[in-house]
Structure 1
Amino acid sequence: MGIDAMTLYRMGRKLYLRGIPVVPAVLRKAIHFLHGSYIPVEAEIGEGTQLGYGGMGIVIHKDARIGRHCLISHQVTIGGRSGLKDLPVIGDYVRIGAGAKILGNVRIGDFAVIGANAVVVRDVPAGTVVGGIPAREIRKDPDPLAAYEREMGLRPPVRRPEAVPSVPPPASAAQ
């Protein structure tokens, strides 16, 4: 098993955030050469996000934001449109099918599913399944968490609250 595009992206992102200038650019070129993808270190991609087939053919704009635990299939484009300044913002636990295009100032809600080869140019509410060109709503799940568990076969990881430092007992209670 080789190194996938997401592993190279994560290494480059850590170095980029530390202010190291050349190595992240070399890693971006390695991603392009090995996987045929453009995944810049400037893009914000949340923890646990996975790329299908190691990230083959994926194009992500440098200003796009992708949430946690998303699944992005191969040949997906996440980028801008001519004349529009803002870029896509993708929520948590979103699944994007092969060949889908998410373009322009678009907000994708948590637990949304983007069908294969869909072209998304409008916002997608949380828990909605969309498909087609342009993408239209196919179904809306009343309980997106249960649908995610049923379709993916696993429960989404729950963030543990930060540990609260213990408060020492008052001096009068210690006696």
Structure 2
Amino acid sequence: MNAIIFYRLANYLYRKKIPLLPVLFKYLIFFVFNSVVPYSVVIGRNSKFAYGAIGVVIHSRTVIGDNVIIGQNVTIGRQLDPRGVPSIGNDVYISAGSRILGDIKVGNNVIIGANSVVIKDVPDNSIVAGVPAKIIRTIDRSIYDLFENIY
């Protein structure tokens, strides 16, 4: 069982302007997975949560691209500035415990290391890690070539 299924149903109902049911799915995700994944979030095709989405918190205005894997206990949200929320590109792997905060853009083909705190833009084809996160390596091939049996 994965929270992405419940999110997709809630998001579909939200886009069709069906009242109440999206809210019920949001609370179901909270009670089953201890996660906050609002129905208004935009999550692209083939994106999924690792371990069902245990402890994941996502801001309601976040945009997440295609083929993104979000690990457990990840937070994607704003800092104290109420205007900016993160935007995540395509083909991104967000490792367990990571925090992506503020009005930033995470590029395509990126790996975010475990327990990293990302508070600045991340360019395409990068691996970042640390607190605060810094580029530790650039890559010239798909991140999914680096992993075995992950997708």
TM-score (norm 2): 0.95
Q: CA RMSD in A?
A: 1.3
For the pair 1:93 / 2:91, whether they are aligned, the reply is: yes
C-alpha contact 1:84 1:105 (8 A) present in aligned 2: no
For the pair 1:144 / 2:111, whether they are aligned, the reply is: no
C-alpha contact 1:130 1:139 (8 A) present in aligned 2: yes
Unaligned stretches of 5+ residues in structure 2: none
In the alignment of these two chains, the number of paired residues is 150
Higher Cα Rg: structure 1 or 2?
1
**Residues 24-69 of structure 1, C-alpha deviation per residue, up to 9 Å, x if partnerless?**
0000000000000000000000010010100100000000000001
Unaligned stretches of 5+ residues in structure 1: 157-175
Query: How far apart are 1:83 and its partner, in Å?
Result: 2.1
**Residue in structure 1 matched with residue 49 of structure 2 by the alignment:** 51
**Residues 87-125 of structure 1, C-alpha deviation per residue, up to 9 Å, x if partnerless?**
100000100000000000110010110000000000000
Matched AA of 2:141: P
Say which of 9, 12, 15 aligns to 1:11. 9
Which stretches of structure 1, 4 residues or more, deviate above 3 A after TM superposition?
Answer: none
C-alpha contact 2:81 2:102 (8 A) present in aligned 1: no
Query: How far apart are 1:144 and its partner, in Å?
Result: 3.0
* % identical equivalent positions: 36
Q: Higher strand share goes to which structure?
A: 2
TM-score (norm 1): 0.83
The aligned runs of 1:1-175 (5 Å cut-off) are 3-141=1-139, 143-145=140-142, 148-153=143-148
Q: How many Å separate the matches in 2 of 1:119 and 1:144?
A: 24
